Amino acid sequence: MEKILTIVIPAYNMETLLPRCLESLLVSEPLQDALEVLVINDGSTDRTSEVARGFVERNPDVFRVIDKENGNYGSCINVGIDEARGTYLKTLDADDYYEPEAFEGLLRLLPKTDVDVVLNLCTTFKEGSDKTMRIGIKDQIERFFGADVTDFVLADLLRPRPFIYLWLHNITYRTQLLRDIGYRQPEGCFYSDNNGGFLPMAYARTIRLYPQVVYRYMVGREGQTVDRKVAYERFGDRAKVTMQMCRDYVDFTDRREDITERCFAGNQNRYKAAQRYLHYRLYGHLASIYRLCIKSGCYPEEEMRRLDADMKPVIPEIYEELDRLPITLGENNTITLSQWRSDEK
C-alpha cells in the first residue's frame, strides 16, 4: 500500500534517547498503513541500530532501519529522500519526539490535502524542566491573516512584512517537490538543517497550516549542535552551510527564466515571491550569525571575518544591505555592521 508520510530520523549514538522518539510514532492501527519511519543509522558505535531494529520487529510495515557510514545529518536526510515511499516527508531528530495526538491528526489531514507544504507548530523543552517555548508560526499567521486562515501561498508569507521564522521542524514537504528540484543537504558537517526551510520552501506553490504542536524539540543536552561550546568549535560547519545557502540563492536568481517556466508555469509573480522569500531568509540568517558573533561572542571572530570576506563577491547586494545592520553591544552602545567591517583588529 502507498504510504502517505515518511518520517526520516537521522541517528548517531542515540541508544538512550531513541526509544522515546520512536515510541511517539506508534500510531493507532488504522493509521499504520499510511506511515513509514526510516531510521538512518549514521555509523553509530553504540546500540542505536539494535534499538531501532527492535521497533522493526514490532511493526515491520512501519519501521525500517538503514545502516550507513558516518556522514553527518545532511547525508541521512539525503538517503531518506532517496528511500522514502511516502507522498509527504518530514524529519525528526533522534533526541526529539512528536506529540502523539497531534501527530495522528497530521496523518489524518495529509490524505485530504493536495498542497506542497504543511506547516505545524513546534515547542522546545529541556529535560527535567516544565518550561517550553513555542516556535511562533501560528501567532504570526493569525496576526497576518486572522485566526481562521489555514491555506495560503508563499507570497502571503511576505506581507505585510516578511515572514521568515521557519524551522525544518515546522515543515512537512511533498516528497516529489524535493526530488523535482534535486534537493540535497550539505554532507559531512553540522547545521545542514539550516538549509531545510530555505531553498525547498521557495518552490512551494501551496501551503497549509496545521495549527497543532506536533514537534517537541529538546534543548540543553550536552553535545547538541546548539550547545554554545559546540557552536563555537564547529563554526566552520556553519560557515560551509551558509556559503551553500548563498550559492543556492545566486543560482535561483541566475536561473530565473528556467525556474519560472519549469516550476511556476511561467508565472512571474510566483517566481518573484520565491526570490523575495529566499532574500529575506538569507538576510535574516546572516543577521543572526553576525549578531551572535559580535554581540555575544558565540562564534570565533577571525572565522566570522573570513566568512564575511568569502560572501562579499558572491552576494554583493545582500552584503551591502547588511552594512546598515544595527548591533547592540550594551546600554547606549550600538554599532552598525559596516563599523565592525571597517575595524582592522
pLDDT value, residue 183: 96
pTM: 0.91
What torsion do the CA atoms of 128, 132, 133, 137 make, to the nearest 10 degrees?
130
SS3 content of the chain, % helix, strand, coil (to 5): 50, 20, 30
Which of 316, 312, 334, 315 minimizes the C-alpha distance to 325? 334
CB atoms inside a 10 Å sphere around CB 214:
26
Q: What does the domain layout of the chain look like in residue ranges?
A: 3-226, 230-342
pLDDT value, residue 155: 76
Which of 298, 199, 181 minimizes the C-alpha distance to 245? 199
Backbone dihedral angles phi then psi of residue 74, each to the nearest 5 degrees: -60, -40
Which CATH code of 3.40.190.10, 3.40.50.2020, 3.10.50.40, 3.90.550.10 fits the domain covering 3-226? 3.90.550.10
Question: Bridge partners of 39?
Answer: 9, 65
pLDDT value, residue 272: 94
- Surface-to-core class of residue 341, CB atoms within 10 Å of its CB (0-12 exposed, 13-18 middle, 19+ buried): middle
pLDDT value, residue 149: 60
Which of 296, 165, 171, 307 minimizes the C-alpha distance to 238? 307
Which residue bears the cell 507544504?
A: 117
CB atoms inside a 10 Å sphere around CB 205:
17
pLDDT value, residue 58: 96
What tens-digit pLDDT sequence spans the chain (345 residues)?
689 999 999 999 999 999 999 999 999 999 999 999 999 999 999 999 999 999 999 999 999 999 999 999 999 999 999 999 999 999 999 999 999 999 999 999 999 999 999 998 888 877 766 665 555 555 666 665 555 667 777 877 766 555 556 788 999 999 999 999 999 999 988 888 888 889 999 999 999 988 888 999 887 666 666 677 888 899 999 999 999 999 999 999 999 999 999 999 999 999 999 999 999 999 999 999 999 999 889 999 999 999 999 999 999 999 999 999 999 988 888 999 999 999 854
